[in-house]
Amino acid sequence: MREADTLRPPQLMEVSADIISTVEFNHTGELLATGDKGGRVVIFQREPESKNAPHSQGEYDVYSTFQSHEPEFDYLKSLEIEEKINKIKWLPQQNAAHSLLSTNDKTIKLWKITERDKRPEGYNLKDEEGKLKDLSTVTSLQVPVLKPMDLMVEVSPRRIFANGHTYHINSISVNSDCETYMSADDLRINLWHLAITDRSFNIVDIKPANMEDLTEVITASEFHPHHCNLFVYSSSKGSLRLCDMRAAALCDKHSKLFEEPEDPSNRSFFSEIISSVSDVKFSHSGRYMLTRDYLTVKVWDLNMEARPIETYQVHDYLRSKLCSLYENDCIFDKFECAWNGSDSVIMTGAYNNFFRMFDRNTKRDVTLEASRESSKPRAVLKPRRVCVGGKRRRDDISVDSLDFTKKILHTAWHPAENIIAIAATNNLYIFQDKVNSEMH
C-alpha cells in the first residue's frame, strides 16, 4: 500500500445524534445504507460526475431516511426489545427498485425503495385534490396523462419476518440464489425464503439440553458468495465451521472446522475472550475467509483448516492493557472487517477513531484516523503511529493516551473502487483514493 496520501475524505456526514450500528454498500456501490441505535436507516446515493465539478464523483448525499424499527416489549418474557439496527443487507437489484433487509434483535424486515418522478393528472371522477367529483358535472371523457414532478423516493415495507429467534439476532446474509437468506442468533441459524414470512427452517442449533453445559455461542455467519449450499459461522471460542446444506437438513455436523491451536505460552485469563471471532467475511473470489478477533485479523484458505494463512496484528500494544479493558468492558467490543474489491487489501477498526489497512501483497500496513480535523473536503489523511514507551516521534500517540470511547466498530468497502465508509460513533466518514488507482 502506498503512503496514506492515497486517501482523501470527500466529506464528513452527521448522520444523527444516535450511534451508527451498521454500514453497508449495495452491490454496485452507488448506494450506501447506515442503521443506527434509534432504529433509523439512512441511505446515501453517490453523485454522478459533472463537467463543472469533475472531482465531485464519489461524494454521497442523503437519498432517503426512514424509521425501520420501533422499540417493542415482549410481555411473555418481560423484556424490552430495543429498536437498534443490528445489520443491513442489500438484495441484488432485479428491476428499477432497490431492496434491503434490516434487522434488530428479533425482527427482520424487507424494504423496497422506489423512485417516482411523474404523477397522473386529468382524472374523470376526481378533482386535482383527489376528491370525488359530482357525477352530474362530468360531461366529457378525458384520458389521464403523466406529468413530470420533483423526484420522490418512496420506501415501503414488503415483508416482516418475525418470531424466528429466541435470542438476539447478530447477523443476516443473503444467499447467492437470490431467493433465500439466513439469520443467526447466539445459538441458532435459520433459513428463510424471501417470499415466506410465517416460517423458517432451522439449519444450525447448538443449544445444549442443559444450558449449564453451554460452552460457546454463534457470533457471526455468512453465505458463500457463489455456492448457494455453503455457509460459515464463527464462534466465541475462535473457531469457524463451514457447513454444506446438501449434506443434511440440520447442519449440526460441519463439513470443515477451522481452528488455530492455542500457544500455551500465551495462555491467560483473557485468552478465550480475545479469541472470540467478532466478524467473518468471505472474499469476493470465495476462496478465502477473513475473521476478526479482539487483537488480530486472520485470512483463512478454505482448503486449509489447521491454521490461518495470514495473521495481522491490529493493536498488539493493547495486550498489556487487557486487565483495564476487561474492567471497562471494552474487551467485549465487536469489531468488523472488510475486503477491498480485489481481495488484496483488508480493513478493520480500532480505538481512538483509528482504522487499520493491511496490504496482502506487499505486507505493508497503515494506521489512519477518522476525525473532524481530517474531514475537510479533499484533505489528506496522514498515517498515525502508536508508541509503547521508549522514544516518541513528534506525531506519535502514546498507548496510555488512547481514547477507548472513540472506537470504529463498523466499516464497509465499495465493491469495486477504493471508497470506504467508516462509522465513528454518530459520524459517518467516507474516504476515497486520492488518485483513482489500486491501493498498493
Q: What is the DSSP string of 300-325?
A: EETT--SS-SEEEES-GGGGGGHHHH
Q: pTM for this structure?
A: 0.86
- For Cα atoms 176, 290, 37, give the angle at the middle one, nearest 5 degrees: 80
pLDDT for position 400: 86
Other CB atoms closer than 10 Å to residue 67's CB: what's the count? Answer: 11
pLDDT along the chain (440 residues), means of 10: 43 58 96 95 86 62 94 86 95 94 96 86 75 77 79 91 94 97 97 96 94 94 97 96 93 92 81 95 97 97 96 94 94 96 96 96 93 73 81 79 93 95 92 56
Is residue 33 within 8 A of residue 87, CB to CB? The reply is: no
What phi, psi does 196 have (nearest 5°)? -120, 120
Pick from 420, 276, 258: which is nearest to 335 by CA? Answer: 276
pLDDT for position 214: 92
Write the DSSP assignment of 334-389 as a string of letters: ---EEE-TTSSEEEEE-BTTEEEEEETTT--EEEEE--STT-STTPPPPP--EE-S
Pick from 155, 144, 57: which is nearest to 99 by CA? Answer: 155
| Cell output for 294 | 479482539
Domain boundaries, the chain: 19-112+152-160
Pick from 427, 411, 403: which is nearest to 351 by CA? Answer: 403
Gap between the Cα atoms of 301 and 289, Å rounded: 7
pLDDT for position 285: 96
pLDDT for position 166: 92
Other CB atoms closer than 10 Å to residue 221's CB: what's the count? Answer: 23
